[in-house]
Amino acid sequence: MFTLMKILRIVSHFSWILLAGMIFSQTNIGAAPDTAKSSKIEPQVITDTNIVAVVNGQKIAKQELYNLLIDTYGDDALDVLIRRTLICQAAEKEGIKVTDKELEKKLKTLIDNEINGLLRTYQIKDRADLEKELVKAGTSLANLEDKMSKRMRRQAEVELLAERLMEKTITIADEDLKKAYDQQYGEKIEASQIVFRARREAEDTLKKLQAGADFATLAKNESADRISAARGGKMQPFSPKDGMGAEVAHLKVGELSNIIKTDYGYHIIKITDRKPPSNKSFKSVREELEKIVRNQQYKERMGPWLISLVESASIVKN
């Protein structure tokens, strides 16, 4: 059973802020104390718009709040605002707009992806289990989604505008679709991993595994990838035709890989299962594959496209 603290720990940075805000709001910060039981200073109505809070008679100025936010998030937040502004300017120049219906659909997708990603990553059974714990905390999944909706609406709108702007730059070739078909419906390898920062650590652990040590236990205790470590090293299924898959495609179920170096560190892989290709025909899933390829190209080209927007713009920072 997931405790409240575990939920707070597993929710992503963005969602954690929303969830924590709702939970702590249940403590009624700023509410009048029971004078029969407390000698605390009576809260007063704040009339000065430059004051955001009064704590035991001590004022917290709005400028203090702003300074903290700027010091903590300043440069990153400003860069986000600049990129959003450039995207909106480009969309206006092209006469591109989004409808309310499109915006609501995009917003729902962003929220669903955020929550479903948490369920998958941290092996929460379903939304019902998450809902139970949120109710215990005095809130609900509906409240969380509502707060996420309010904060992600602008993000959804800007992403839609960017997608429209980039549509004309995306071309889908049959080769791209066939590769996507192999990735989605071809053979799948199921495996577990242990990741290390240093090769010497990987070498020492490989010897332990070859001597019969339990893979899941070592993954939980030693892996630098704490997300898969929490699952005993279990990875998402992958294709044997590219990336990590090509490195371990020759292995049989139960076999260990040699040490594999990637940008993330040094990996030891254990094959736990191999799933045969799907019997779905290429033609029957072509439309789905086109969406997948379009989304992949969008993600790959977004960075360079934004850089080109920034480099061609006149930007003056204070």
CATH number of 187-275: 3.10.50.40
User: What pLDDT sits at residue 41?
Assistant: 54
**Could you give phi then psi for residue 178, rounded to 5 degrees?**
-65, -40
Which pLDDT value is given to residue 17? Answer: 44
Q: What is the DSSP letter of 212?
A: T
Q: CA-to-CA distance for 173 and 274, rounded, in angstroms?
A: 29
d(CA 282, CA 316): 51
**How far from 239 is each of 194, 246, 248, 270, CA to CA, in Å?**
19, 8, 10, 15
End-to-end CA distance of the chain: 50
Domain ranges in the chain are 4-30+39-169, 187-275
* Structure-token match 């240093």, residue found: 198
Characterise 243 by phi-psi region: left (phi > 0), alpha (psi -120 to 50), beta (else). Answer: left
| pLDDT under 70: residue ranges of the chain | 1-44, 122
**Residue given tokens 């191999």 in the structure block:** 274
Alpha-helical (H) ranges within 124-266 are 127-136, 141-166, 174-185, 199-210, 215-222, 226-229, 244-248
Q: How far is CA 188 from CA 60, 198, 233, 277, 278, in A?
A: 57, 29, 17, 7, 10
pLDDT at position 40 is 54
Render pLDDT for 112-152 as a digit per residue (tens, 0 to 9). 998 888 787 767 788 998 888 788 878 899 998 998 899 89
Residue 242, pLDDT score: 79
* Maximum pairwise Cα distance, the chain: 76
Residue linked to tokens 């260990």? 256
Q: What are phi and psi of 55, to 5 degrees?
A: -115, 110
What integer pLDDT is reported at residue 18 of this predicted model? 44
What is the model's pLDDT at position 118? 75
Contact between 215 and 232 (Cβ < 8 Å): yes
- Taken as a whole, the chain contains a residue count of 318
State the DSSP code for 140: -
How big is the CA angle at 18 (ends 17 and 19), to the nearest 5 degrees? 95
Angle of helix 13-25 versus helix 141-166 axis, rounded to 10:
150
Tell me if 96 sits within 8 A of 165, measured CB to CB. Answer: yes
